[in-house]
Structure 1
């Protein structure tokens, strides 16, 4: 199994799930997709099974046997080993301590915001802010319901963090829109010129 399989971001998520309870990959996939929109978009069945195989080869998880549910095929159940627990703690400690520069699609798009022109940028940013407000409102409600139902705050701390990031992004978007409209964010002529209309 290639070493790079152990560098996959979902390794931490899988180790974390197995810290909670032993599980088979099909169960892990369903749980990861339920917990995170990012995981739902990024994790395929093949990726997860390859990752679990790499974790087993590294000695971080171990098979506890096979389990059958109804008429479904038998599935191998995995448990976290002592070495896997130590690796989980090591990765968590490192990732929390060290603020890496994480490149998002939005950051990449903002880099070339000038290509949209002032009115196009305002329109796109306004729509993003609207979508963020809707999503944030729904996430706030889910978090509130979870806490009201007695879920320990520590178990939903990542939801708090995600909401904090979304609110900060909405604040920045509102500021950027205002700067465009007041003219304090200036578009150079070159940034608004369509290359197809230029004559060489």
Structure 2
């Protein structure tokens, strides 16, 4: 996994967690493991990314502070550029990430930071784009079938989520769950 602020998938959830409250690398690593257990998260990766993000102007570091007998820890917080970058990464992840990608999974987790109308529109555009790529010529029957099933499931889930958003449902703090299969209907 890349350790620079422009290409690492952990940057989006780090910015999201720092938008909630400033934190040090140890705290962020623990919170990332809870939220993104499907990603490899180590304290050293988080610390390295935070330094890279600080160099990129996405976060700023406070003077290291000590709590009790613990060693001094640097606390990080988002900058204005970091907040703007966070929103941009959410939009880009929803709109432009490849089908069945971790970048989409992470972006959809933070889609609630966007205005509902924008989120629904971006999701609908994604579903339309994916529909044009669901068939992958030149691949063997087994893998083509798997890919088509995967993309079809993503399209169905995205379309259902966009519909729920447009209907005014509060979908941001819940697990909307899988979309029921229509294959046996």
1:1-12 pair list within 5 angstroms:
4-12=4-12
Give the 3-state SS of the residue equivalent to 2:38 in structure 1: helix
Aligned to 2:73: 75
- CA shift for structure 1 position 34: 1.6
Residues 1:26 and 2:26 are matched in the alignment: yes
The structure in which a higher percent of residues are helix is 1
Aligned to 2:173: 156
Give the 3-state SS of the residue equivalent to 2:62 in structure 1: strand
- CA shift for structure 1 position 58: 0.3
Count of equivalent residues: 121
RMSD: 3.0
1:11-160 pair list within 5 angstroms:
11-39=11-39, 42-98=40-96, 100-102=98-100, 111=143, 156-157=173-174, 159-160=175-176
Q: Which runs of 5+ in 2 are unaligned?
A: 103-141, 146-169
TM value normalised by structure 1: 0.51
Q: Which runs of 5+ in 1 are unaligned?
A: 105-109, 114-152, 176-200
Q: Distance in 1 between matches of 2:19 and 2:92?
A: 18
Q: Distance in 2 between matches of 1:79 and 1:23?
A: 7
Give the 3-state SS of the residue equivalent to 1:78 in structure 2: strand
TM value normalised by structure 2: 0.55
Q: Distance in 1 between matches of 2:63 and 2:172?
A: 29
Find the structure with the greater CA-based Rg.
1
